[in-house]
Amino acid sequence: MPRRRRWYTTLYVQVIIAILLGIALGHLFPKAGIACKPLGDAFIDLIRMMIAPVVFCTVVQGIASMSDLKKVGRIGVKALVYFEVVSTFALAIGLVIGHVLHPGAGFNVDAATLDPKAVAAYAGHAGEVGIIARLMAAIPKTFVDAFVHGDVLQVLVVSVLTGFAIALMGPAGTKVTRAVEAAGKVFFGIVRIIVKAAPIGAFGAMAFTVGRYRISSLSNLAALIGTFYLTSAVFVLLVLGIVSRLTGFSILRFLAYIKDELLIVLGTSSSETVLPDMMQKLERLGASASVVGLVFPTGYSFNTDGTNIYMTLSVLFLAQATNTHMTLVQELGILLFAMIASKGGSGVTGNGFVTLAATLAAVPSIPIQALALLLGVDKFMSECRALTNVVGNGVATLVVSRWEGELSAADLRESMAVPAPAASTQPEHVRAAGS
């Protein structure tokens, strides 16, 4: 009979302890907490270092081994349709709950008293956000440029082209595919080593956040933070819950299955830190490498549900806080503009704030310097944005995989019942290739 693992050796338990210790250190000794910032930054940088090669190997191997190349185009169309429908629901929920709870009521802020310099850097990047700009930016200047800058969408473009090229080589492409599979084993092995340091990264990031922004400073904006977390929870449990039920699995069971990754996101405030691990776990559930490799990374730019909720809710909050009246036509305009602007988001901390600045630029009645009200709490809200984005992209991948007939509801529920530890094994297609 195998020995049971001690509770303190489990990754998610270690991450929980690290988060609590980070909060305590940042609260009791703010200067020491701020000094821990390099620990969180180093962990995020280590993970980002591996995102490009992991996505490249997964997508190339998945496409190159497919006999039906039309499937790739079919998957892409299904994913984009799903992204647009669900992300629009996220935007609408932010508006609805913002009207119901009025988180900005009573602030009575005079925008003329706010310092526009505080948000000048974000406003300067506002024009760079949008679907056209994002699509153009998806084309790297050179083949290796995508790997140098680590842009997920650029890596995806290069990977898809490479996968198609290898598939069209016929029998000669088999050797190349095997080489990519071997490289994938190496990169996933590196990821497993890095993820063991997740508690250290979570401790450093949380200690810095609490030490820098102080929990006591959140009291005035507690209503906004609480409303945002509540709205995100409603979206996940209600909207994604219904989608999951129709797909054949429970959203609560899925959340339990990816709890390790969610805790890492909570500690590091970035969804990119778990991209390789999430791809592994989705493949363990039975989704193919091609579906996982195409849908999940693409969702980081086209399915940012948490960012969508944040944008519409924050715009309403700022309007209420500055006593700015908004008509129904203006709100619908925000909804339409946000549907486009949100497609420029990604899993990097701070991009949601830039996207919000772009949305405000489309609503001249709300002074853009009002963004200064959110500067102190955006870091705490970015954690919820990242968590919602990860869950949304995970559900999207399973939905598309079910549409492709790769999964049965019974097998999906059975696989989720016994979740594997984060980054403990290689993805299914890599293990199969090596057996």
Task: Please report, rounded to a whole number, the percentage of residues in the chain having pLDDT higher than 70.
Answer: 82
Is the confidence at residue 51, as pLDDT, over 60? yes
* HSE (side-chain half, CA atoms, 13 Å) at 194: 24
CA angle 215-219-224, nearest 5°?
110
pLDDT band at 114 (very low <50, low <70, confident <90, very high): low
Return the C-alpha torsion angle 81, 84, 90, 92, nearest 10: -120
Max mean pLDDT range (152-161, 348-357, 360-369, 372-381): 152-161
Given this model, what pLDDT does residue 343 score? 63
Contacts 24+ apart (CB under 8 A), 135-141: 138/301
Least confident of 40-44, 145-149, 422-426: 422-426
Is the confidence at residue 367, as pLDDT, over 90? no
The stretch 363-373 carries a mean pLDDT of 75
Is the confidence at residue 221, as pLDDT, over 70? yes
Given this model, what pLDDT does residue 111 score? 65
pLDDT band at 431 (very low <50, low <70, confident <90, very high): very low
268: closest CA among 187, 374, 197?
Answer: 197
Contacts 24+ apart (CB under 8 A), 158-162: 158/56, 159/55, 159/56, 159/58, 159/59, 159/60, 159/63, 159/293, 160/59, 160/63, 160/72, 160/294, 162/56, 162/60
Given this model, what pLDDT does residue 169 score? 86
What is the SS3 assignment for 260?
Answer: helix
Token pair of 390, please? Answer: 């990860």
Could you report the per-residue pLDDT of 328-361, keeping only the tens digit for each? 888 888 887 777 666 655 544 456 666 777 677 6
Count of beta carbons in the 10 Å neighbourhood of residue 89? 18
Specify the higher pLDDT residue, 216 or 314: 314
Could you report the per-residue pLDDT of 54-96, keeping only the tens digit for each? 888 888 888 887 766 777 788 888 998 999 899 999 999 999 9
pLDDT band at 427 (very low <50, low <70, confident <90, very high): very low
Q: What is the CATH number of domain 10-434?
A: 1.10.3860.10
The stretch 119-135 carries a mean pLDDT of 54
Task: Please report, rounded to a whole number, the percentage of residues in the chain having pLDDT higher than 90.
Answer: 22
Specify the higher pLDDT residue, 86 or 172: 86
Could you report the per-residue pLDDT of 281-324, keeping only the tens digit for each? 999 998 988 888 888 988 887 888 988 898 889 889 988 888 88
Is the confidence at residue 180, as pLDDT, over 80? yes
Is the confidence at residue 423, as pLDDT, over 50? no
Is the confidence at residue 406, as pLDDT, over 70? yes
Is the confidence at residue 131, as pLDDT, over 90? no
Given this model, what pLDDT does residue 212 score? 81
Given this model, what pLDDT does residue 424 score? 41
Given this model, what pLDDT does residue 233 score? 96
pLDDT band at 426 (very low <50, low <70, confident <90, very high): very low
Provide the residue ranges of all domains of the chain, joining segments of one domain with +.
10-434
Given this model, what pLDDT does residue 249 score? 92
Question: Residue 220 class from Cβ within 10 Å (0-12 exposed, 13-18 middle, 19+ buried)?
Answer: exposed
Given this model, what pLDDT does residue 394 score? 95
Could you report the per-residue pLDDT of 231-286, keeping only the tens digit for each? 999 999 999 999 999 999 999 999 999 998 998 888 888 888 888 889 889 999 98
pLDDT band at 8 (very low <50, low <70, confident <90, very high): low
Measured between alpha carbons, how far is 308 from 138 in angstroms, rounded to an integer?
Answer: 21
Query: What's the mean per-residue pLDDT of the chain?
Result: 81
Is the confidence at residue 217, as pLDDT, over 80? no
The stretch 182-196 carries a mean pLDDT of 88
